[in-house]
Amino acid sequence: MQVFTDIDEVPDGFGPSVVTIGNFDGVHRGHQAVLGRLVRLARADDRAAVAVTFDPHPATVHRPQSAPELLTGLADRLELMAGTGLDAVLVVPYSLAFAAQTPEEFVTRYLTGALGARSVVVGHDVRFGRDNGGDLAAMVDLGGVHGFEVVAIDDVGECLPAADGAGQRWSSSAARALLAEGDVAQAADVLGRRHRVRGTVVHGDARGRELGFPTANLGAIAGMVPADGVYAGWLVRPQLRAVDGAHPDVRLPAAISIGTNPTFDGVERRVEAYVLDRSDLDLYDEEVVLELVEHLRPTLRFDGVEPLVTQMHADVARAREILAGDPA
């Protein structure tokens, strides 16, 4: 999949293409269905399948104080989008200047001008251009003027049953709500995959090593960190995977702790992972991905080191049991 991080990177004469527009935060099952349909439409007409997305998220520009926490960082968003079969993604640097374009300016510069769009796939609630002035009817009108068809799609699927039986959409907000509760297993049903966070391993207090459980502490984390607690999951090493995808240490079972270490009166919220039964790994300064499989327990304050270590042994045993039956 080609990735263009600015409109100027799109080569002259690109297209013809089938294009969709969206933030695609989390690339959940609804997104996957839309992008899959886009790819099928493009293949049927021998055109390029392209998604236009934005970085940073528009909400962080227009209303930073109330912007939602993003489910995925850009690197993971692009990796997940590539998995849908897209030929290219245009990542638009979102700014107030970009947002000031009229709907027609956006369409003619980005969709038809740069990407050679012949079809545009959008939801019925699409909004684009200055003050979100463009809607589905405007897109259809612009398609008639500028030579592209508009394919309008309905919301795709449901996730968890609602109290009234109506169900919820597969949505980024539904996934965020579940992660805020620590329910990573149900969030995986919405996302169609395990939730992941990405970060670089940094030096911590070395307290885990002293207790017999050396941990990889993550800094500069991309992706929504779920509720405090202990989780079973996987530590994935993208750099090692790029060199040798079959290496046995690419994907390692782990017990993952999120919280402030209240037993030691900690105040800084941390994400750290103990790779089960391994004390030989040197992960410092390496970027790793944590895939969260199941919530084991909430964060607790223990009356001393001994009961804490006893519980850590129980956590590791439970994580080992869960991950033994978790598909790769």
CATH value of 194-325 in 2.40.30.30, 3.40.190.10, 2.70.98.10, 1.10.10.10: 2.40.30.30
R_g of the chain, CA atoms, integer Å: 22
At 151-191, the pLDDT tens digits run: 998 765 554 555 444 455 688 999 999 999 999 999 999 99
From the list 200, 192, 16, the residue with the least C-alpha distance to 120 is 16
- Model confidence band, residue 251 (pLDDT cutoffs 50, 70, 90): very high
At 72-107, the pLDDT tens digits run: 999 999 999 999 999 999 999 999 999 999 999 999
CB distance 273 to 255 below 8 Å: yes
* Cα separation of the two ends of the chain: 24
Tokens of 166: 């109506």
CB distance 125 to 21 below 8 Å: no
- Model confidence band, residue 303 (pLDDT cutoffs 50, 70, 90): confident
- Give residues with Cβ within 8 angstroms of 178, minimum separation 6: 184, 186, 187, 190
How many other CB atoms sit within 10 Å of the CB of residue 265? 8
pLDDT > 90: what percent of the chain?
78
Per-residue pLDDT, 26: 95
At 222-244, the pLDDT tens digits run: 999 999 999 999 999 999 998 88
CATH value of 2-153 in 3.40.50.620, 3.30.300.30, 3.40.250.10, 3.30.420.40: 3.40.50.620
Instruction: Give residue limits of the domains in the chain.
Output: 2-153, 194-325
CB distance 284 to 265 below 8 Å: no
Q: What is the pTM of this model?
A: 0.90
CB distance 286 to 198 below 8 Å: no
Taking the alpha carbons of 33, 39, 45, 51 in that order, is the dihedral positive or negative?
positive
